[in-house]
Amino acid sequence: MTKLYGQADATYQAAGEYDGIKKLVDDFYDIMSQLKESQHIRQMHPDDLEASRDKLTRFLCAWTGGPRLYREKYGPISIPQAHAHLTIGSTERDAWLLCMKQALAKQDYPQDFQDYMITQLAMPAERCRNAD
């Protein structure tokens, strides 16, 4: 059966709402801290990842069609602008997506949902790229 993840808040529901997305983001940053391939992007972040975890969790809630929790706490955001001070080339973009792919695989998500998420996230990741 084809699930229409993009419709209304279907993606937010499939991701497990706030708690599911929080766990995904926690795993994502844990993986980023551990993988050799992502040390250069981990080092772009503050030592204490608490705010980064909260921001990405809240951003992804709205991005998946759920509540606008990022805007509620931090105000409006443009993803390319939020990354404009960083140097992000295809290596950095691919390292970010690798961490996300591994984090998605750690969740109790069906394979088609993991594939959907990584395909969709590749778009904002590419829009963050401002080098090479």
Name which position in 10, 35, 62, 79 contacts ligand HEM (CB under 6 A). Answer: 79
Contacts of 104-109 with CB under 8 Å at 24 or more apart are 104/24, 106/27, 106/31, 107/16, 107/20, 107/23, 107/24, 107/27, 109/14, 109/15
What b/e string do you get for 42-71 counting C-beta neighbours within 10 Å, with b at 16 or more? beeeeeebeeebbbbbbbbbbbbbbeebbe
CA angle 18, 24, 27 (to 5 degrees): 140
Name which position in 8, 82, 84, 131 contacts ligand HEM (CB under 6 A). Answer: 82
Name which position in 74, 113, 114, 118 contacts ligand HEM (CB under 6 A). Answer: 74
Interacting residues with ligand HEM between 2 and 61 (CB under 6 A): 41, 44-46, 51-52, 55-56, 59
Number of residues that make up the chain = 132
Q: Give the x/- contact pattern for ligand HEM in 88-107, rule: CB under 6 A.
A: x---xx--x-----------
CB under 6 A: which stretch of 4-12, 25-33, 109-117, 119-127 binds ligand HEM?
119-127
Give residues in contact with ligand HEM (CB under 6 A).
41, 44-46, 51-52, 55-56, 59, 63, 74, 79, 82-83, 86, 88, 92-93, 96, 121, 124-125, 128
